[in-house]
Amino acid sequence: MTDYDWDAFISHASEDKDDVARPLANQLAGFGLRVWLDESEIQLGNSLRVKIDAGLVHSRFGIVILSPSFFSKVWTKSELDGLVAKESDGTKVILPIWHQLSREDVQKHSPILAGRLAARTSEGIRAVASKIIKVVSGSGPTSRKGTPIFAGRLTKKKLLELPEGSFFLSNTYNADLTPALAKEIPSHHAREPYWEKQSWPRLFGQRPAGFKWIPAGLC
């Protein structure tokens, strides 16, 4: 069996990073997957082509976020071509996600992709992540376990400090591999009134067994 450095490569247009790619990467990292996302793997001075090629070669799956922006880019189409080449031996590699597209829209750009079962962002990022997890977990062991940057008593100060895109995630799971608890943290401007309105922060401050924080930027 081939050893991979990453469980999944996320191919996406930059316009879809904030709403889809980054939140999805964070959710998957919380499940214990190692995800290749450009902003985490490409540093100042790196060769884009070399780093992306390495990501494509050394990732088990390719998550392709199909959107109007995706189909308008040359670079994303090149990434898709690379993932298609990996399927030449019949191995499933491409995991398509439709974002702001109908089947007819996808059909216009790629009849082959339109014929594949895809997840849709309209179902919610958590639902998309759950579907991906089921595929990845069925193909062999994942690369690593998720690691939180914070686990402890939740205070208002800590809530306000957590990075944008963070969420709460238990390390206990339901039968369908979804977390027993998963709650997104609001944007910074909405956190103070959220703290005042909710009772759960005080409950989580008691540190129930199996609870951990999963932040943005785990990959």
Distance CA 117, CA 123 (A): 14
Contact 28, 119 (CB under 8 A): no
Helix (H) or strand (E) run with residue 129 in it: helix 125-137
Distance CA 86, CA 103 (A): 24
Residues 15, 39, 79, 184: which is the catalytic one? 79
Judge whether 79 counts as a catalytic residue: yes
How many of the other CB atoms lie within 10 Å of CB of 190? 10
Q: Which of 198, 207, 166, 199 is nearest to 185 (CA)?
A: 166
Long-range contacts of the stretch 113-118 (C-beta < 8 A, 24+): 113/64, 113/66, 118/66
**What residues are labeled active site?**
79
